[in-house]
Amino acid sequence: MNVVTPSHPRNTWINRLLFMASRGLPENLLGLLGLSLIHFARWVILKPADWPNLGQGKEELQNDYVLFCSNFNGTWDQYIDAFSDGIPSGLDLFWYSAIKYPKSIPITPFKNYITFNQIDTDYYYNATPGSAQRDIKTSLAIYDQVLKLVDLHKHSSPEEFAAAFRKAAYNMQIGLGDPGFGPVASLATEAADENRKDYVERSQERFQGLRSLRKEQKNA
């Protein structure tokens, strides 16, 4: 998601101060960090002189702007709903200087504001289709556990390794499920799942083929 909102120049310094405070006191962002469907989110202040000239000529701008960029899993509606429910006061602070910002609650004016100022993404690459942020984190945790077991297998007795394996299996079980598709929360979610189903299945087939090839090469 890319959103560009105009900002009163006389109030932009307040937004800059709020961003600095958020970076210095990250505990204030726990509501945002707790939203596991968000992969990445960033707000950037753009002054009129920051806009690139790609041949269109110098821009004559009356306002500063705030660029918001974010990656997330799920649908647009789920994302905005979670944002509004999870950190309503935080959103209102981050868009403090935005012109005609309606506040994050109630949700309908907020969604209309985002829609009006949103720039559609033309190209998007997803390295982990079908997986949410939490799936990726648990997969990395499992990978670390497997590496530890591989190292332990080199110098431990069968009994010691069996005990370590049982302990690791207990710790890893939260991430051993198939990420697949989540329960349908709305018609938009169902449509998004249906639209990306073929792509996800092709990606999983390619991954399975690479894994089989690597296994054959290792056994050759």
- Packing angle of the helix pair 187-219, 76-86 (nearest 10 deg): 100
Question: What secondary structure letter does DSSP report for 120?
Answer: -
Give the pLDDT confidence score for residue 90 in this predicted structure. Answer: 80
Measured CA distances, 167 to 93, 148, 153 (Å): 45, 12, 14
41 forms beta bridges with: 70
Please choose, from the candidates 197, 194, 186, the residue with its C-alpha nearest in 3D space to the C-alpha of residue 81: 186
DSSP character string of 21-74? HHHH-GGGGHHHHT-TTEEEEEEEEE-GGGS--SSS-----SSEEEEEEEEESS
pLDDT by position in tens, the chain (length 220)? 899 999 988 888 888 888 888 777 766 666 676 777 788 888 899 998 888 888 888 878 889 999 999 888 777 888 888 888 877 888 888 888 889 999 888 888 888 999 899 988 888 887 877 777 888 888 898 999 999 999 999 989 999 999 999 999 888 887 777 766 655 555 666 676 677 778 778 877 887 887 788 778 877 7
Give the pLDDT confidence score for residue 208 in this predicted structure. Answer: 80
Give the pLDDT confidence score for residue 186 in this predicted structure. Answer: 58
pLDDT in tens, 163-175: 999 999 888 887 7
Give the pLDDT confidence score for residue 117 in this predicted structure. Answer: 92
Give the pLDDT confidence score for residue 23 in this predicted structure. Answer: 77
CB 27 within 8 A of CB 63: no
pLDDT in tens, 64-113: 999 999 888 777 888 888 888 877 888 888 888 889 999 888 888 888 99
- Cα–Cα distance between 102 and 79 in angstroms, integer? 18
pTM of structure: 0.66
